Structures are given as C-alpha cells and as structure tokens.
Structure 1
C-alpha cells in the first residue's frame, strides 16, 4: 500500500537507451537532452487520445488533444491561477436566449477564422460538425466521436444555419448551462474530411481544426507531435513553443524516471513519494486548487447493497481520508461531498462525511449486516488515467478501511479508456452485471457535469452521467429548477440545495479532492496552472 520513496524512484531510473525504447523516444543519450522550443509531455493516459475532433481519454484527452488542435463555440479561460476558470466566447463571439422560448439560443460566429487546411470556419461548418455527432444518417456521422460527445450534446435538440455567421441551437429542455457544454464540442474541418475520401480514419492521420497547434504525426500508444499554428486567429494564443510532443506513460514511476533522465520536460501526476526527490533535482512542482473529486459512483440496481442509504452512509464513514491525504504527501484534501466546502454549491448538508468506523458498523448492523454477514461489493477501477491520482494504492487503502467495518470489497481493474467505456454503458449493461460501483475521478467545473448530470434521473448515461440509476424526486425537482435558472446567483442557491440533498442521501462515496500536481524541468517557463481540469499549453516555453 506504500508508494515508492524518493530512493526507490531513483532505483527505478533507467538507462537512456532503455527508457527511450520504452517510451518511444528512440535510443541514444543525445535524445535525452531537450531542445529549446520543444515541449515534451508525459501523460497518464496509456494511448494517444482520438485525434479526429472529439478526443478520447477523458479530460486529459481534451487537455492535450482537444483544446490544442481544436476550438469550440465557447472555451474555458485558463489564463488565471487565482480564480476558478470561467466559460468565455471562442468561435462564437456572443450568444442570446430567446425570451419567448428559452430553449432557443442564437450564436454569432467569429469571422476570419481558418481551419488548418486554409478553409473558412462558418455556420455551415458548425452545422456539419453537429451532424457528425448527432445526425446518424448524415454522411459524416462518426460513432466514435459521437460516443465521446454524448455527455456534452445530450440536451441539444436541433441546430440550423441562420446566415453565414449565425447559428441557432434549440435544447430539448430549458438549459441555462448550455455554454458550459459547448466548450466540450470541437470543430473539425469539413474540407479536410472531403479531401481524404470522407474517411475518418484517414482524417485521424491528418486532422484539421482551428486550434493553436497542428498535428504533424502520431503513433498509437507511443507519441504524437504537434507544431505551432502561427496563423491562429487569436494572436494571444499562438504557442510560445515551436513543437509539442505527447507521450503516453500510464506508469507513474516511468514518468518520474523520464523526467529525471531528461527524456521529457513535463509529467502529469507525479507520485507523492517522488516529490522530494524531484525537488532535490531542481524540478518544479506545481499545484493548485481545482474543481475535482475522487469518488465512487454507486449502483442502485436490485443486486446492489448500496440501494440502502444506511450502507451508503456507512461506506462514507468507513474511510480514513486524512490517512489517504498523508499517503498522497499532502497533495489532496479530504472531501465532505461532491464539491469543496468553500464552493458556492456546497450548501448545508446534515450528513457529515468523516472518519467514523464505529458509526459505520452501527449503520451496517441496522441494515442487517454483521461479522458473519459482511457487505459484498465489487467496484470497477483503473491503474491510472485522467485525474486519477494514484488509484491502485488509494483503492487498496480503502479496501482495508472497508474490511475493518464489515464491507468485503473486490476490484475489477480495467485500462482507463476501457473503464470509461463501461461507465458510458451504465450499471444495468450486461458487461457491468454484478458491479456495484465505479471509481471515476470527477469534475464539477459546471453545474451539469458536477451535479445535475450525475444526480437527475433524466440524465442517465449515455446522455448524462448518472451511471447507477439514482432516482430521487427532490433531486429531479431541484435539477430541473437549476437548468431553468439563468440568473447565476439564483442558480447557485438551487445548486447548493441540490448538493446538500445528494450528500444527505450519500448518493456516491466521496473520498478526496485532488490538488492537480504536475512536475516540470527548471527550464520550462510561462505555465499558468489554472483552477481547472484543463490547462493551456500555449504560453509555455522551454528555454
């Protein structure tokens, strides 16, 4: 259950040639030396995210293959470290809601934007891209991208061109959080798709977006290389680096060894025990608060012990969160719900999430369990992935906590992208039969992803994030009210009530909030760690 110490990490370090072969950088010590203007990043993902427009690999895919190659109608402002990221205009300059029918939105598009292939971005391109995701009988419909976009476009009912630079989008129900969701839908070039024989597999090899980086080449599971888009329409976001190289490295200690040996300039999620070693070698360790929670989504099906609120509350009381934070070297904070206590959505829940094993045992006894009849549960987990911190030792820690109170926990360990595929299927899918929870790190950067989409019965997967079929009348009432609240203060008030209620229902098992650590070499300059799961690499340079 112990992470590797700094000394252990040093022992893991590989010879340049071995590590180069291992991570696809080629052999030879000369290649271990970074070059000015080239930023080499080791991701936690095991594969290169989908390159066609809607990335795979979760939020890490969006971070490295979404907002790099592509733009959306809206985007997150990632330029500040001292405040939570906000949604701002991107390819849409502005938008309005029809006061007579609040399901209808009008978006004014930015003029003068070019795709990487030189073709023009306009209303036709927006309609074409929405068709590729949501219109199954369109020639450009792509099931792979549609799967990745389902959580963002689920409430979009129709879309149409008004003129060359105006589009109208109608939602299925009143949805005040639509601009948040549009930040996760990216625009691919219709012209490039036509040029490549209307073949998305060929488009993947030579994609064209409007983003600040252009993909030059990639090899699955090994590397992707991008070059600066010097003609990007937003001159403030033309990358400072000439080249960006992405390397999948799901093993945390391999990432550390790569950074220490000079094979990469930047690593995601360094293991906490390696941080002293990295600091002693003058590496930069950057952290920041951001809207992120490490939880277990629970099944509410008939075969799940978590249908009983007493069992759910007992599981939440069984976990020594301070012990997990200590194990993580202080790079996390104990959770008391989906959102942190200082967040405007926290509210005033009456159920206090804390470490109380005796209270957990009492609740389990009331629910009919005891030493001779432990709760039997099976959870789906992954060894690494976007925002997952150190999931294997964390889950082993929790397994021991659960055992102490009378919960017998079993794991099914899947690759991160395989886990995400199982999450999109829902707890009721045949593939998930007998699985009572899924360990999927979660964000709460917008009301839909953070609260409404996880809790409302009308937000079951694949359109929403309600994996386990949680169904509660008060939750649905508050979720519907929040969707219809266009005034931010009023919406925050409703969301605080919603959060209080789902905590009192112990809807999920919430463990810790992540501080989003990353490590980089001393010559990496200009990075601003936003309070977001996404980060902007355009200001970063390697001197």
Structure 2
C-alpha cells in the first residue's frame, strides 16, 4: 500500500492550521482554499492546469473568446475580446475577427487590435521582446495550429491556421490577454508583471504574495455590466493537503475549499456547510504507454486493465462525488458512439484477456504508473490508486506507483514517453478535459504525439486519426458529430487509456456563500457570488 506523510483520508477537522495571511472574514470577501501546491502564475497564462485558469486566469483576464459558464448544459463559447469571428469564404484557413471596442485594461490603457497582436506574439514569436518562454508551451500545447496573425485594421484581426480547423474558436479561450502598456511600465519583464498584473477581467489582481496568496478586487469598470462582481474581493490560497483545507474551512479561515475528502462530506454537511457537486467535462484516466517498451503495447492488456477496476466501488468510496467512466465521454453523451466493449467490473474477463496475452500465475503484468500527490482535477489520487492497486492485484497485475508533485506530472504529460521527464513509467494518472470538440484529436491522433501535444502514450491507430482529421476539417456540425462518435468508439475498444471515473467537481463552502451556480465547466463564474 502507498504511504506518504501528510496524506490522511479521514478529516475530523482537528488538524492544526496556521493562521492564514491575507484578509480576515469580512463582508463581500470570498476566501478560497485551492488544491494547488503553489500559487498559480498571475501574468495571464496561469500554470497549475485547470485550477490555475479557474482562479487566476478567467477572473482577472479575458480571452478573445470566453466561456459562458452555463449551469444546465455543457458550457459553450461566447464573445470575449472578439465580438465575432468568421471564416473567409475564399480561404478556409483564414479567420476574420472583430475586436471589441471601448475596453480598458486594469492599468487604464485601451484594448486595441495592436494589443491583441502583441499578445499573440508573446506566445508564437520567439524573436519578440515580449516572448514568454514558460507561458508559450501552456498555450501552444493546445493551440498549435496558428500559422500567422495580423491586424487588418483598428477593429479587425486576421488569424491564419496551418490547416482547416473548425474548432479554433474553442481553443482561443486559452489565450488570455495581458496589457502591453503595463508590461512596458514594469520594465519589460514578465516576472515583474506578475507582481503588478493587468488584464481586462471582472477582477483586478491587486496583491500577490508568492507561495501564500493572491488578492483580487472588483473591477467596477468591467466592460460587461452584467458581470461586474458582487464581491469586493476574492482571495485564493494554495492548500494541497486535503485535511488542511477542511480544517481551514471548519475554523472559518476560508469560506470555500476545492475537493473536500470524500469521507469528510457527511460531517461537513452535518456542521451546516454547503456541499456542491455538479457534472463537468472531466475525465480521470491512466494515459497508457503504447510503445514497444511497455506491456500496454498489447491491446488485450489495456482492455484487461479496464475490466479490472471496480468503478462502482470506487465511486462509493468517493461518497458519490464521481461517476464511472467507460470512455473519454460519458456513456450518455451523443459522441460516445457504439463501441463493442463496455467496461464494467469483470475480473474474470480481465484474467482471460491476460491469459490470452501470455500472462498468468507466476507471470504477472508488471508496470509503473505516475501519480500525483494533488493537483487540478486530480481528485484524491493516493486513496483512489490504493483502491485500484488491489483490483489490479486480484487479476494478476503488479502495478506500482511513481508518486510525484503536480508540476512534475504536467511536464511529463508533454514529454516523449521515453524521455527522462517521463521517469520510465508505463502510464500517467492525470485528470484531463473534454471541454471542446477537438479534445480527442489532442489526446489520440498520431499527429498529436508528445511532446508536440497530449498523445503521451504514442497510441497510433490510422482509422481513428483519419476520422479525427476529417472532423476538425469540416465545418458541418452533423458530419463532425458522426466522425467524432465513430472515432470515440474505436478509442473505447482499443483502450489507449484506462478510463476510471468522471469527477463531479465537489467543493465545500460556508453557508454565507450565496449566488453560486456551478457551471458544467472546469471554470466558474465568481461574479455572481456574494456573502450573506
């Protein structure tokens, strides 16, 4: 069994919590305990995965295309700093985008077409003075198809892609827009900019104490009057230890925590605290190494792994904060398709597949999986993997773990599986999103082999890649859906991942928190929240 100092799955609320820096409880101040081990970067392209964008990305910055934070359906895109976008009728590579007028950065400077081009150069032009080497891979790992960008006039930006790519507006949500004027004012340094950031978002980042907290203040002049925050301040703290988060909430040092331990939920409810669970486009897999160095090169071993997991038992252990996963998409999603394999808990079928692949008593499958101690969307990785380790053992699979910090895993998933950064593992247990329709291409197409993109395991299926290429090239929605559902069925049957669960985004909060309507998204709208 795994053991790691500080990881305790029970949380009675008696843990000692040092006094948190920042603001004490006061009217219209929301204090949040994140799962991140460190404060996400504040310069407009946050690290720390989805949680970084959730708390120090979208609250303080806008993208050219924003999310609508829908509650009753999967979140969709909405105009941001682009008011509209369209394909050039004569050139499917060329997108014509209209820039929103009358928007100001937090430092008072005007948003212009030039400012947007300046931000594209920050990411895509390594010769530009504002090129940001740490931030560029965070955007380019997803938005890799940009070939060129230019200002057509003061109100229009033109983007050109390397190939026809119908899903581009979804991916443009990753590029948050920072103030060129402020970057100049702080000495042309992104490190200095992070101390005094300036975006166009509904909150202004007004104080950053690295490693401790960031404080955001309401932007009274936000360009969308409907989304001027009701809160005066939003303060976020990194708290990777689950028991520390619970104790901080119980003691009133924070008002909101991400991912309370599953076994703490009944007692938190009993104490009068609110528990929020809501579906969102989250999947929690093992991305499997499908190269010739790993036992998972054999599809039968990958399928056996999927039949070995007691997902219902795992969800019960998680107190109903997750649902079983049988693919990237939930089985109820129209894009799920019609795969042959339905990955219910079937240890006997797992054993039969392993026997067919040449394994059995005296010759177990031996593999190592990289898992994290915490992280954005990572749920409760230590107890969850301990649970599954016993499932694997029962069918003849000896699975060990390489336990790393979240930042190490984020580097690994964008590395070649044979690179030193991958630590020689046979799989990576990392939470991932299917927020936009291009997700399958990033995770499974041959074109997306790491380190270029997120097909870490280098799974190579010609039929799936062809379907995914065709889906992203067509602008016909019905044809897209048909191609994607066929590709997904292949992905389920070929099992390049162990599909484990879909998280239900649990969080706990004080009864004083009102107005929160969870979005079916990795990201949330903090503008409508108030404190009673």
Question: What TM-score bracket applies, with the shorter chain setting the length?
Answer: over 0.9
Q: 1:334-393 deviations in whole A, cap 9, x for unaligned?
A: 111111012121111111111111111111111111121111111111011111111110
1:68 corresponding residue in structure 2: 59
Q: Which of residues 381, 388, 393 is equivalent to 1:398?
A: 388
Written as runs of structure 1 = structure 2, the 5 A alignment for 1:375-524 is: 375-449=365-439, 451-524=440-513
Alignment partners' CA distance in 2, 1:121 and 1:143: 24
- CA shift, 1:89, in A, is 0.8
2:21 corresponding residue in structure 1: 25
- CA shift, 1:99, in A, is 2.4
- CA shift, 1:430, in A, is 2.3
Alignment partners' CA distance in 2, 1:470 and 1:368: 21
Alignment partners' CA distance in 1, 2:154 and 2:343: 53
SS at match of 1:34: coil
Q: 1:15-68 deviations in whole A, cap 9, x for unaligned?
A: xxx431xxx337xxxx7x621110000001111111111110001101001101
CA separation of 1:300 and 1:130: change in aligned 2, threshold 3 A: same
SS at match of 2:526: coil
Written as runs of structure 1 = structure 2, the 5 A alignment for 1:94-493 is: 94-449=84-439, 451-493=440-482
2:11 corresponding residue in structure 1: 9
Whether contact under 8 Å (1:150, 1:462) holds in the other structure is no
Alignment partners' CA distance in 2, 1:427 and 1:238: 45
- CA shift, 1:11, in A, is 5.2
Written as runs of structure 1 = structure 2, the 5 A alignment for 1:25-44 is: 25=21, 34-44=25-35
Whether contact under 8 Å (2:83, 2:97) holds in the other structure is yes
- CA shift, 1:220, in A, is 2.2
Alignment partners' CA distance in 1, 2:99 and 2:457: 38
- TM-score, structure 1 normalization: 0.95
Q: 1:516-543 deviations in whole A, cap 9, x for unaligned?
A: 1111101101111011111111111112
SS at match of 1:56: coil
Alignment partners' CA distance in 2, 1:424 and 1:514: 23
Q: 1:476-506 deviations in whole A, cap 9, x for unaligned?
A: 1101111012122221111111100111111
Alignment partners' CA distance in 2, 1:76 and 1:428: 36
Alignment partners' CA distance in 1, 2:343 and 2:85: 40
Give the unaligned 5+ runs of structure 1.
none
Whether contact under 8 Å (1:298, 1:436) holds in the other structure is yes
CA separation of 1:196 and 1:412: change in aligned 2, threshold 3 A: same
- Count matched residues: 528
Whether contact under 8 Å (1:152, 1:185) holds in the other structure is no
Alignment partners' CA distance in 2, 1:241 and 1:437: 42
Q: 1:302-329 deviations in whole A, cap 9, x for unaligned?
A: 2111110000000001101011001000
2:523 corresponding residue in structure 1: 534
Alignment partners' CA distance in 2, 1:418 and 1:352: 33
- CA shift, 1:414, in A, is 1.1
- CA shift, 1:433, in A, is 4.7
Alignment partners' CA distance in 2, 1:431 and 1:9: 34
Alignment partners' CA distance in 2, 1:123 and 1:380: 43
Alignment partners' CA distance in 1, 2:12 and 2:312: 27
SS at match of 2:26: coil
- CA shift, 1:426, in A, is 2.8
Alignment partners' CA distance in 2, 1:41 and 1:276: 21
Give the unaligned 5+ runs of structure 2.
none
SS at match of 1:120: coil
- CA shift, 1:184, in A, is 1.1
RMSD: 1.5
- TM-score, structure 2 normalization: 0.97
Alignment partners' CA distance in 1, 2:405 and 2:424: 19
Q: Which of residues 40, 64, 77 is equivalent to 1:87?
A: 77
Instruction: Give the stretch that moved more between structures: 427-436 or 498-507.
Output: 427-436
SS at match of 1:447: coil
SS at match of 2:201: coil
Alignment partners' CA distance in 1, 2:247 and 2:120: 42
Alignment partners' CA distance in 2, 1:461 and 1:76: 27
Instruction: Give the stretch that moved more between structures: 99-108 or 85-94.
Output: 99-108
